[in-house]
Amino acid sequence: MLSPDFVARLRSLIPTDRVFTDPVDCFAYAYDNSRKFFPPDSVVFPVTHLEVQAVLSLCNQYKVPVTPRGRGTGTAGGSLPERGGIALSLERMLRIIAVDPANRVIVAEPGVLNDSIQEAARPYGFFWPPDPSSAAYSSIGGNLATSAGGPHAVKYGTTRDHVLGLRGVTGGGERIRTGCYTTKGVVGYDLTRLLIGSEGTLAVITEATLKLTPLPQARAGVTAFFADLSSCAAAIVRVMALPQTPSALEFLDAGSLQLIRSHFPDMVPAAAAAMLMIEVDGSEQSIAESRTAVLQACRDKGLIQGEEVQDAASLWAARKALSPLLRDIAPKKINEDVVVPVSALPVFLDGLEQLSSKYSVANVNFGHAGNGNIHVNLLVNPESPDELARADRCLNEIFDLVIRLNGTLSGEHGVGSEKRAYIEKEIDPPTLAIMKGIKKVFDPNNILNPGKLFP
């Protein structure tokens, strides 16, 4: 509960119409795509860098928790105000401050949607490569918070690879600038990359200088259906060994294909147990050569059907249909985004099958196979304690398998609250202690997104 004195001072800093304290008004800011619910005591909508600083300085003085928030599309609980306090919504910070095609740069505030950045860059022949599935309605602030990726990360990298500099406010209320405007710069520590992926635990980002990439001349694709999982996994390794790196390489397992068949019967061959969707981009000549090389790499005794797709946009129809279908049949599914080395995918996918069978938990897997990022979905009934317990044990062993294979527990969703109990599987105590020390430097009173990331 916020004190009357604090609320009065808050309202003196931010106009009343941008400060919510009524629980009804705050309701929409109590949850994100993890489907969990933690109501804030207040929602505040800053529109300038100075307003963010004023709010954080006040909250630091009163030791009021602050949970920075974009559009609430995250799946790991990173924007949940678990300890109440203020939900700091950045959705009204919507300015694209500069579009500079000569230097391949866009400068924007955190509330700007990913799609809006693409629309601003496209007339100049550029794009911003991070492309999460939520691009149409996720903000760049949220993309920065988790270092979002997406299908094209296999060729272009994740958010961290496409940001030159940041402006923000620390948990202590100090204004900071990181990075620079140029693509080369080595003055001081790389605080830009530190803040990207920190999930709002160190500072609130108020402005980002984004590095743009030229749009490819053309895109095309290949679809390949396999009779068994092992043939598909082997093909992934061969495709990724080609000198022509695909711009996207997506994998769907038997469970995914069955879901698609149930709604789109003609989309998937009846005998298919796994599918690859592979996109290539570049010049018209280079994509023709790349498609031929990809199809050859897919040839295997288990290949049922492999064909070229001229319209790259149609390539993603099946993939984009999956998440809504999974939500329909399992609203409380356990959704993880683990990553293993590409060469370890055959062992990992086989291990997933064994663990799913061992614990009798329905399992659907798909994802960005080109960089080993598999979205593991355990389909559970939340009203069955036994099934939930089995799913928890299964997930624990899945994470152990990921670490044994030299992988990581999250590729793009972040840790938030959903994975914090498992973080010590990946990060050793001395390293974790250094991270906690960094947190204290940026946020001495632990007001920024408290409780996230760390066990």
Instruction: Give the torsion through C-alpha atoms of 140, 196, 148, 404, to 10 deg.
Output: -170
Tokens 């620390």 -> residue: 170
Instruction: Count CB neighbours of 304 within 10 A.
Output: 18
According to the model, what pLDDT value does residue 266 have?
Answer: 79
Same domain for 181 and 34? yes
Same domain for 160 and 275? no
Q: Assign 3-class secondary structure to the chain.
A: CCCHHHHHHHHHHCCHHHEECCHHHHHHHCECCCCCECCCCEEECCCCHHHHHHHHHHHHHHCCCEEEECCCCCCCCCCCCCCCCEEEECCCCCCEEEEEHHHCEEEECCCCEHHHHHHHHHHHCEECCCCCCCCCCCEHHHHHHHCCCCCCHHHHCCHHHHEEEEEEEECCCCEEEEECCCCCCCCCCCHHHHHCCCCCCCEEEEEEEEECEECCCEEEEEEEEECCHHHHHHHHHHHHCCCCCCCEEEEECHHHHHHHHHHCCCCCCCCCCEEEEEEEEECHHHHHHHHHHHHHHHCCCCEEEEEEECCHHHHHHHHHHHHHHHHHHCCCCEEEEEECCHHHHHHHHHHHHHHHHHCCCEEEEEEEHHHCEEEEEEECCCCCHHHHHHHHHHHHHHHHHHHHCCCECCCCCCCCCCCHHHHHHCCCHHHHHHHHHHHHHHCCCCCECCCCCCC
According to the model, what pLDDT value does residue 442 have?
Answer: 98
Residues 378 and 380: their CA atoms lie apart, in Å, by 6
According to the model, what pLDDT value does residue 264 have?
Answer: 76
Same domain for 276 and 150? no
Residue 378: inside a domain, yes or no?
yes
Residues 142 and 381: their CA atoms lie apart, in Å, by 30
User: Of 215, 248, 272, which residue sits at a domain end?
Assistant: 215
Same domain for 242 and 204? no
Task: Pick the closest to residue 448 from 52, 101, 154 (CA basis).
Answer: 52
Same domain for 19 and 135? yes
Residues 283 and 285: their CA atoms lie apart, in Å, by 5
According to the model, what pLDDT value does residue 329 have?
Answer: 58
Residue 441: inside a domain, yes or no?
no
Same domain for 226 and 131? no
Residue 297: inside a domain, yes or no?
yes
What the block records as the tokens of 437 is 């020390």
Residue 442: inside a domain, yes or no?
no
CATH assignment of the domain containing 37 = 3.30.465.10
According to the model, what pLDDT value does residue 382 have?
Answer: 81
Residue 436: inside a domain, yes or no?
no
Same domain for 174 and 111? yes
- Ramachandran angles phi, psi of 324, nearest 5°: -60, -35
Q: What is the mean pLDDT of each run of 10 residues along the chain (455 residues)?
A: 95 97 96 91 98 98 97 92 97 98 98 98 98 91 95 95 98 97 95 97 98 95 94 95 94 88 82 94 91 94 90 66 63 84 95 96 91 92 90 96 97 92 96 97 98 91
CATH assignment of the domain containing 261 = 3.40.462.10
Residue 352: inside a domain, yes or no?
yes
Largest CA distance in the chain: 73
Residue 86: inside a domain, yes or no?
yes
Residue 426: inside a domain, yes or no?
no
Task: Pick the closest to residue 299 from 238, 356, 350 (CA basis).
Answer: 238
Same domain for 22 and 146? yes
Same domain for 262 and 175? no
User: Of 404, 423, 450, which residue sits at a domain end?
Assistant: 404
Same domain for 148 and 23? yes
Same domain for 176 and 306? no
**Full residue range of the structural domain in which residue 317 is found:** 218-404
The number of domains in the chain is: 2
According to the model, what pLDDT value does residue 9 have?
Answer: 97
Same domain for 210 and 223? no
User: Of 215, 237, 270, which residue sits at a domain end?
Assistant: 215
